[in-house]
Structure 1
Amino acid sequence: MRRNNAPARRIAWRDSAVGGAGPANRKGAVMARWLVTMGIVASLGWTTFAAAADAVPDKKGIAFFEKRIRPVLVESCYECHSTKEGSKLKGGLALDSREGLLQGGKTGPAIVPGSPEDSLLIEAIRHDGLEMPPEKKLPASVIADFVAWVKMGAPDPREGGKVPAAKKEIDIEAGRQFWAFQPPKAVEPPSVKDKQWSKTNVDKFVLAILEKNKLKPVADADRRTWIRRVTLDLVGLIPTPAEVDAFVNDKSPQAAETVVDRLLASPQFGERWGRHWLDVARFAESNGNTDNVSYPHAWRYRDYVISAFNSDKPFDQFIREQLAGDLLPSENTKQRDELLVATGFLALGSKPRAQNNPDFQMDVVAEQIEVATTGFMALTVACARCHDHKFDPIPTSEYYAMAGLFTSTDTLYSAGGGQGNGRQKNTGFHELNGEPNMAEVRQKHTTALAKLLENRQKVTAELKRLGAVSKDKPADKNKQKPKKAAKNQPPVKPEDMPAVEVKVPKNASPEETDKIKQLGEDLRHCMDEIKELQSNAPPAGELAMGVRDLKKPNDCQICIRGDSKNRGVSVPRGVVSVATIGELPKIDPNQSGRLELANWIASPNNPLTARVAANRVWQHLFGRGLVASVDNFGELGERASHPELLDQLALQFVRDGWSIKKLVRSLVLTRTYGLASTHVAKSYEADPDNIHLWRHSPHRMDSDQIRDAILAVSGQLDLDSMSGSIVSKSPEEVVQQGRLNPATFSDASIRHRSIYLPIVRNAMPEALELFDAPDPSLVIGVRDVTTVPSQSLFLMNSQFLVQQSRHFSERLLAVGDLGDSARVAMAFRIALNREPSAKESAESTEFVKRSESAIEAAEKNKEQIRVRAWAAFCQALLASAEFRYVE
């Protein structure tokens, strides 16, 4: 079995439909041939065969199984269909292993991977003839999960032979001998034979491995290729022709440093690298699942992340703020608000459908444990929820020790802001104070309003006891406790306050009549005071998702086999001991323990954290991590290809104050990063995955880069940051029913960068989803790269591409006094950052002329004929593989 997270082997280039278009001759024959043959359809059809990964890494499927499938099997199926000693298999069917599922029982195989309609297990859980479980049908959402799981091939790690056998007894000390749990070791750079090649110590580590494997690095990339690569990697955008020319013509030794420093200082750096982290943080603006209620304030966390990367916030502080920002001291109101917003990291996950579900709390906790431990430490602690971890030295007791940190935490997400169908409770938000002293002003207002509301309730209750009738009936309208009502109710405008009318019962005694009249006056006076107070109410504070400690933290009981209804002993709150060097942190009994967790993870002594962060940075720059399984440093993960180099990067990262920008800068200025992507048959045969870094691996832009690059080339990209989110302004029922129409998110009406598009679970923007946007319900360190027909159809037919191609055409035609050849050259420089060859230039201009002739039959306006012909050329250029690929 491929280890968890191992990327599928990539085929660097394939022969295209127009002939052998490998890297060597791609810039000539390929570009020319698609233009000259049969126009835009043929040229776009060629892109279907662009280089990409053939297989999807199994990490996503395994994570789906562990999160959605295994717990259901354990709770609902193992009692009758487990091979555990002493149990009798019903129907001869074992569901506690992949082999058992494939073999099936007396009626045949339980599943047919990839085909849910042919799988008996799906038939059974649907109660369509067969019935499993027999007593009660599983919820529709669970059945949908099983169908999705079988469709993806039924990924399941529970198989023998190719994976290590599960340990009968966990030996923590022995487990600490595993490489990832050992502290990074400082070593001197290795000696190499070629003394002239290396520019930095990083290069020496790389070259030593190359020489050991008898491989030679290819030549350096040319300057145009390098600046396109580094600009896309650092800010996610294609460099402008002016930026390319400035670098190409800068002959100073510091030319590359000048470019890198400019990019690191750009606000677009935070948008690009913030997006990387949002993949890990499973950022989304709705809950997903059946109801899919919105998270209208999630965008504040997005903006926090962008700001953190732009300001180069030390990564250890970044960790602490996201796990325990509410428990950290602050110097001022602005910083306090920022710390509260940071804790949205723990609140963003997809929640179960109903809070009254007995598993709700533990499912939320499992998701929080997963994002905290996988995201920061690449450790799959969540796999120990139902049983001791099968492969890493993590006992179930330590999972529930960590769970206690989160069961002692109140998650504030208030899905839909309290709107919706009532299945989700309003769990509140962090209220941000905004301007200095506003918190005190609001508190005074809240206290005063609470007293008035309490008095109104008392007066109204007494009137009702005496048989008087209030036309307002305030006690019926607001049955919340006064303090809670005052905090939650919006400001009341005086004109909105209903008139008050008190009627004296006919049978009232004189004493009762006098009392009713006095109470009526008291009520009117109280209402006047409420009107006055609310008419001068301070503005409401902004709201944010996040977490806070419960007033009474508690340890968590072990859930036997992951079943929250079957509780075992209580476990003291704590962390995972195998990843602890020295003493385990002591948990403050009066707090949740999240602060101790944050300090433990962010400690320089944690053997995983700095390594994992450095590895993530390397992966984003080189296309593959030094540990390929960036989200799994455990036994099932890949081993480091350059272990000593990874340790040096981790140690230097900490010495540099956990600075992401310093780490990025040091890596992009290496000779290794600057290599060309040239294909060398002998080297490729020896190392097809480029594990040893003999060249720079060519790769497709991700979905955000593709959309942003198209908008930039067409001249339509708005580089200003976007305030708020469409989701926060959309009616709740629209989000719930998935009617946000994601296709509209990618057209010219939203011209900001892709990071600002609404990320609604189950309704992703089309331009992002088609090109493998990450599943926002999972921790994703490496995005999938697929090639499917719908991508070519999008490039051929989507309104977005057609509109942007026209804008690109108008941009070219707006420059007067240019001949067609010069205009073609301009288009190449803008889109591909290079000059066309003579052949490409000739055949491109011929293509435009033929397009004009074809369009003249239906269009008489000469100006429009020109625009449409050049738009066809522009669309072909934007749809080409060269545009989408980074060399």
Structure 2
Amino acid sequence: MVARLFLVVTAIGLGSAAEKAVDFNRDIRPVLSDNCFTCHGPDDRHRMANLRLDSENGIFKVVTPGDPAKSRLYARISAPTASSRMPPAQTGTVLTAAQIELVRKWIEQGAKWERHWSFTPPVRPAIPDVRNEKWARNAIDRFVLARLEREGLKPGAEADRATLLRRLSFDLTGLPPATAEIDAFLADKSPDAYEKQVDRLLALPQYGERMAMQWLDLARYADTHGYHIDSQRDMWKWRDWVIDAFNHNMPFDRFGIEQLAGDLLPNATVQQKLASAFNRNHMINYEGGAIPEEYQVEYVADRVDTTSNVFMGLTMGCARCHDHKFDPISQKDYYRFFAFFNTIAEKGLDGKSGNAAPILEMPTAEQASEAAWLQQAIAEHEAAMPEKDTKALLAVWQKTALTNLPAPPAGGLIAHYDFDGSLADNAPTVKGKVTFIAGRPGQSAAFNGETQIEFPGFQAERFAIAFWLRSGALGEMTVLEGGPGFDIGVEDSHPQPDFKRGSPLYVEYKGRRWHSDAIVFGGEWHHIALNFEGATPALLLDGTSVRMENVGAANPIPAGALTIGDPHRDKPLKGDVGGLRIYDRLLTASDAAALALHEPIRAILTQQESKRSKDQNGRLLDYYLRYESPPDLRRVYSELNDLKARAAQLKKDVVNVQVMAEMAKPRDTFVLARGDYRNQTEKVTPAVPALFPPLPKDAPANRLSLARWLFTPQHPLTARVAVNRYWQLHFGIGLVKTTEDFGSQGDAPANRELLDWLAAEFEAHWDVKAMQRLIVTSAAYRQSSQVSAELLEKDPENRLLARGPRFRLPAEMVRDNALAVSGLLQKTIGGPSVYPYQPAGLWEELSRGETFTAQEYHESTGADLYRRSMYTFWKRTVPPATLTTFDAPDREKCTSRRLITNTPLQALVLLNDPTYVEAARALAQRAILEAGSEPQARLRFLFREATSRRPTANEARILLELAQRRMEHYRKHPELAAKLIAIGASKPGNVEAVELAAWTMVASTVFNLDETITKQ
């Protein structure tokens, strides 16, 4: 606050006599907002002395225009004693003498009050007259120049052409210009050469990617749900939509309306529904013990925060628990706005198996065609086997089924444990509570990690063991151990493409460990039969022989009692077990089939029909149609199952996206005391904050009306916030520095007239490309970024725009720049996220394992390693380290403005990260192969590719000396040269290793230059 006020006071001191008048919004409101509004602002529940200083009526109760001596406000802030002075000492805030003098002058000059500038709709100001008309290229320049002339400053010279094209290319595509493009621009002597470059770059597909980078921050885009589990979601189709919208220059009003309410548009298209995924990018939870109602409120609150910030530049979230302390937004206003987004058909806890409902399926044309064919074919097959006919046939079969079913193998059976509701006959030792459930073949025992059952052990060298298993939580766990000395269990889980988690079985026997090729799925019943003869176990899974692989040595298992569910193991059993049988012989394939297929049906048939469950009746019918029905019916049923399996697989293959979709009956919305979901108070209906014009009277109170309202001419913020963000993109800092806050706590615009003119210009057609073109063709943008010490001291942040922009590239562009100049960059547009290099084990500390996705990082291969950084898989709890080092956000919340830091860690990344080492080697190889054998030519090539200019004589000398020293070093240590050039998945070409390693180090040094990673 003090720093901001210092700049305000300094700006006043720099102005001309005409500017000496104290302006309420510029000079007084920031003082009151920082020091007084907390106790004397919009929050009526915490307002002191019933005094409000943020409103016209309130402030003139304590201000007498023209007479500071009669103004209680001035008297209290200038009181000589601490006990009577405001703000009170206990608040910790103290007005400076300069601030007190500003208030005195304002009162003395008539105390002209103004509504907060951003809450008044922008009016297109007249374009100002300037003395240096020749400098101005468009209206922007006249506003900039008028301010400079008032300050007694002159604009900077135009940047050289190479610098201009580099700046322009980064701003419009996020990539550096190719050397050939620079040469073509330098050779073009036409008066509109620069404008032609602007139009060329705006037409490239990379323009959409560059613009989307900023929007992904705003929309808090990520590839995972967040919170502590942080498993995977698929939202990349929406990312593609954003890129495409920018490339097709979708008008910004349509761009915003479709993202806020595309699903509510009349006859909404698939693409419009897809656009609504904007407000499903928020984090989603499904932690054990989390409360659904609490998180459902959090999701809606996130939409409120994001929508108000992105489109209005407001901090509405500050009114969630109480009235806003600084802006005229009440808590009731907040929850009425909240009500617009509280109508989505979503769950508080969701997302365990991928995307959380509501979702939109996005089939390709081929997938849609196949789905339609399958639907028709399934209908035809179902019509060929009428339900009444199949049930009649089933009824006839059941009469004799028990006598005809293959019996369970009895020969060699030495023990049989049924878990049929009682263990009394088996005399086991039981620890913990045993719960019996409907399972396989009839009833089963449920194990919760604390239950253990011990049956008598047995000794045999040749034996078989069979049982039913349904694992509840996949991940390594012991199921059965003991007997002659074996351990049978489930191995750690492995992800499947459909987000299921499957695990192989393991067997430890006679000092060896074996894994099954096939897997068991969590939550599904599987029959397991194992034959033991010699040292090698043989597995029959669900009646089918499955190969077992010897994976290494294991500690011998001592013989003893046959134990199920040892709670003292690191991974105790959590699941259900049934039908345990032990044989003193080996089981045949037909034996296993009898146990896996026929025995469960026998258990169902022994029950009275009236007591069978729906699941049992379904299994019985399926068994009959598969194995016992007439041949023609069996064929139709087999084909039907194949068709349904194809349809199910197709559904899994189709990409879906989380989108907005209204509930049939909207939820009621209440003001929540202190923002707590448990404390519902007053019921409210959807409405916009009272400080703004209301929705049209005939408009329904829904998201679509809200979205359209944001783009009405009466709305004071939407256009201003958007053009300010574009200004920030090109100049590094917005006309309003606090891009995220246009309220009382935000900064005043550096050039209010320019901001309002740009807003009015933008609002006329909402043409995004035209706005970028307008900004980058201005003389203000084309200035050199070189700055004198005097100007730097006077205007350190370039708010007056007496020079061009200069700031470090965003994180994504730092990496993309290296890939581009090295020749490694793959420019494929869109598609699923990819997994480039990152430090090994980075996800491990926060991984949850078990049944969750996105817990292990599987590095991409081939071209995917070199995609643009915006396609990097974004895990919220562990965002890409290469990017966060350069200040990329975690994307847990909407981000309007990235902070720019300068740390040693950034240099370490540029020197050591495999991406940059490989890129340096690739650039070095290009220099060797394309620039010839002369070191000077190689250096010029390499340096110009990285910086868009030739090195100075001194720079060339230093870098050539480095190349020579590195060459000598690697000649002595060729193994180090080989190790260096082997970094990365791409392979070095036919270049001598020592030479390539030396030039790799030169390229790496150039990559570390401030100039390489800076737009200037």
> 2:210 maps to what in 1?
272
TM-score (norm 1): 0.71
Tell me which residue corresponds to 2:904. 789
Q: 1:350 aligns with which of 274, 280, 283?
A: 283
Render the CA deviation track for 1:703-724: whole Å, top value 9, x for unaligned.
1111000111111111112521
2:639 corresponds to 1:524? no
Does the 8 Å CA contact 2:835/2:872 hold for their aligned counterparts?
Answer: no
CA offsets per residue over residues 739-766 of structure 1, 9 Å max, x none?
A: 5459x57998610000111011122222
2:835 and 2:857 in contact (8 A); partners too: no
Q: Structure 1 pair 841/415, CA: closer, same or farther in 2 (3 Å)?
A: farther
Partner of 1:821: 936
Aligned to 1:602: 711
Instruction: Choose from 235, 241, 245 the match for 2:183.
Output: 245
Partner of 1:126: none
Q: Which runs of 5+ in 1 are unaligned?
A: 9-81, 86-157, 165-173, 420-424, 479-486
In the aligned structure 2, how far is the partner of 1:881 from the partner of 1:577?
Answer: 49
Matched residue, 1:288: 226
Summarize the Cα distance change of 1:519–1:197 in structure 2 as closer, same or farther, 3 Å threshold: closer
**Distance in 1 of aligned mates of 2:395 and 2:749:** 75
Matched with 1:702 is 810
Larger strand proportion of the pair = 2
Query: Offset at 1:849?
Result: 1.5
Structure 1: how far apart are the matches of 2:143 and 2:714?
A: 24
Contact 1:405 1:594 in 2 (8 A): yes
Distance apart, 1:679 and its partner CA: 1.2
| Separation of aligned partners in 2, 1:555 and 1:5 | 45
Distance 1:504-1:241 versus aligned 2 partners, 3 A rule: closer
SS at match of 2:940: helix
Deviation at 1:670, TM superposition (A): 0.4
Question: Does the CA contact (< 8 Å) of 2:224 and 2:854 recur in 1?
Answer: no
8 Å contact 2:688–2:694 — kept in the other structure? no
Deviations 1:104-135 (A, max 9, x none): xxxxxxxxxxxxxxxxxxxxxxxxxxxxxxxx
Residue 884 of structure 2: which of 751, 766, 769 is its match? Answer: 769
Q: CA deviation at 1:863?
A: 1.6
- Asked whether 1:197 is paired with 2:312, we answer no
Deviation of 1:649 (Å): 1.0
Q: Cα–Cα, structure 1 residues 674 and 506, in superposed 2: closer, same or farther, change >3 Å? A: closer
Deviations along 1:333-377, one digit per CA (max 9) or x if unpaired, are: xxx222222122111112355452442111111111111111111
Question: Judging changes above 3 Å, is the alpha-carbon distance between structure 1 residues 220 and 736 closer, same or farther for their aligned structure 2 residues?
Answer: farther
Structure 1 residue 572 corresponds to structure 2 residue 685: yes
For residue 396 of structure 1, report the CA deviation from its aligned partner: 1.0
Q: Which moved more, 1:451-460 or 1:642-651?
A: 451-460
Letter in 1 for 2:688: V
The whole-number CA distance in structure 2 between the counterparts of 1:392 and 1:794 is 42
Q: Which residue of 1 aligns with 2:264?
A: 327
Q: CA deviation at 1:534?
A: 4.2
Q: Are 2:281 and 1:318 equivalent residues in the alignment? A: no
Cα displacement (A) at 1:834:
0.8
When residues 408 and 585 of structure 1 are mapped into structure 2, their CA distance, relative to the original with a 3 A threshold, is farther
CA change 1:504–1:223 in 2 (3 A) is closer
Conserved? CA contact 2:295–2:349, under 8 Å:
no
Contact 1:293–1:735 (CA under 8 A) maintained in structure 2: no
Q: Decide which of 296, 309, 318 is 2:246's aligned counterpart.
A: 309
Distance 1:765 1:489 in 2: 25
Q: Which amino acid aligns with 2:624?
A: R
Q: Distance in 2 between matches of 1:443 and 1:668?
A: 54
Contact 1:851 1:872 in 2 (8 A): yes
User: CA, structure 1 residues 488+693, in 2 after alignment: closer, same or farther (shift >3 Å)?
Assistant: closer
The C-alpha deviation readout for 1:31-80, integer Å capped at 9, x for no partner, is: xxxxxxxxxxxxxxxxxxxxxxxxxxxxxxxxxxxxxxxxxxxxxxxxxx
> CA distance change for structure 1 residues 459 and 275 in 2, over 3 Å: closer, same or farther?
farther
Give the percent of matched residue pairs that are identical in Structure 1 and Structure 2.
31
**Superposed counterparts of 1:552-567, under 5 Å:** 552-567=665-680
Structure 2 Cα separation of the partners of residues 581 and 511 of structure 1: 62
* Equivalence for 1:429: 359
The 8 Å contact of residues 828 and 867 in structure 2, kept in 1 or not, is answered as: yes
**Cα distance in 2 between the residues matched to 1:161 and 1:217:** 38
For residue 295 of structure 2, the aligned residue among 351, 360, 363 is 360
Q: Which residue in the other structure is 1:68 paired with?
A: none
2:758 is aligned with what amino acid? Answer: L
Match of 1:169 in 2: none
1:429-468 to 2 correspondence within 5 Å?
429-432=359-362, 434-435=364-365
Equivalent position SS for 2:156: coil
1:624 aligns with 2:733: yes
Deviation of the 1:310 alpha carbon: 1.0
CA–CA separation in structure 2 for the residues paired with 1:747 and 1:2:
53
From the superposition, tell whether residues 385 and 176 of structure 1 become closer, same or farther in structure 2 (CA, over 3 Å).
farther
Distance in 2, matches of 1:449 and 1:182, equals 66
1:883 aligns with 2:883: no
Aligned residues of 1:401 and 1:555 also touching (Cα < 8 A):
no
Q: 8 Å contact 1:748–1:803 — kept in the other structure?
A: no
Distance 2:389 2:152 in 1: 86
Which amino acid in 2 is paired with 1:327?
A: L
For 1:649, the aligned partner's letter is L
Aligned residue identity for 1:268: Q
Matched-pair contact (CA < 8 Å) for 1:6–1:629: no
Query: Partners of 2:377 and 2:742 in 1: how far apart?
Result: 52
Cα deviations across residues 118-168 of structure 1 (Å, max 9, x unaligned)? xxxxxxxxxxxxxxxxxxxxxxxxxxxxxxxxxxxxxxxx9766799xxxx
Paired residues of 1:181 and 1:607 also in contact (CA < 8 A): yes
Is 1:339 aligned to residue 238 of structure 2?
no
Answer yes or no: is the 8 Å Cα contact 1:284–1:760 preserved in 2.
yes
- Whole-Å separation in 2 of the counterparts to 1:475 and 1:649: 75
Letter in 1 for 2:159: A
TM-aligned CA distance change 1:216 to 1:441, over 3 Å: same
Does structure 2 retain, via aligned residues, the 8 Å contact 1:574–1:585?
Answer: no
Q: Which secondary structure does the structure 2 equivalent of 1:544 belong to?
A: strand
Provide the rounded CA distance (Å) in 1 between the counterparts of 2:865 and 2:995. 27
Find the counterpart in structure 2 of residue 654 from structure 1.
763
- In structure 1, C-alpha distance between the alignment counterparts of 2:889 and 2:253, rounded to whole Å: 25
Mapped pair 1:752 → 2:867: yes
Residue 664, structure 1, aligned to residue 782, structure 2: no
| Aligned: 1:236 with 2:174 | yes
Counterpart Cα distance in 1 of 2:237 and 2:266: 20
Q: For residue 224 of structure 1, report the CA deviation from its aligned partner.
A: 0.8
Q: Secondary structure at the match of 1:196?
A: helix
* Residue 533 of structure 1 pairs with residue 640 of structure 2: yes
> Which amino acid counterpart does residue 573 of structure 1 have in structure 2?
P
Call closer, same or farther: CA 1:200–1:274 in 2, change over 3 Å. Answer: same
Inter-partner Cα distance in structure 2 for 1:453 and 1:627: 71
CA distance in 2, matches of 1:339, 1:261: 28
Look up the SS of the partner of 1:392 in the other structure.
coil
Q: CA deviation at 1:329?
A: 3.4
Partner of 1:568, secondary structure, is strand
CA distance 1:594–1:438, change in 2 (3 Å): farther
The one-character-per-residue Cα deviations of 1:458-492 (angstroms, maximum 9, x if unpaired) are 999999999999999899999xxxxxxxx9999x9
Q: CA deviation at 1:533?
A: 3.2
| Mapped partners of 1:735, 1:704: distance in 2 | 32
2:744 to 613, 625, 635: 635
Q: Does residue 674 of structure 1 match 2:790?
A: no
CA distance in structure 2 between the aligned counterparts of 1:349 and 1:465, rounded to whole angstroms: 54
Give the direction of change, closer, same or farther, for the CA distance of 1:520–1:858 in structure 2 (3 Å limit). closer
In the TM superposition, residue 251 of structure 1 has moved relative to its aligned partner by 0.6
**1:804 is the counterpart of 2:916:** no
Inter-partner Cα distance in structure 1 for 2:664 and 2:610: 48
**Counterpart in 1 of 2:353?**
418
Instruction: Give RMSD over aligned pairs.
Output: 4.7
Instruction: Please report how far the alpha carbon of residue 499 of structure 1 lies from its aligned counterpart in structure 2 after TM superposition.
Output: 5.9
**1:682–1:274 CA distance, 2 compared to 1 (3 A):** same
What amino acid is the match of 2:331?
T
- Alpha carbons 1:745, 1:757 under 8 Å: kept: no
Aligned counterparts of 2:657 and 2:263: Cα–Cα separation in 1? 12
Residues 188-197 or 272-281, more deviating:
188-197
Larger Rg: 2
Contact 1:745 1:765 in 2 (8 A): no
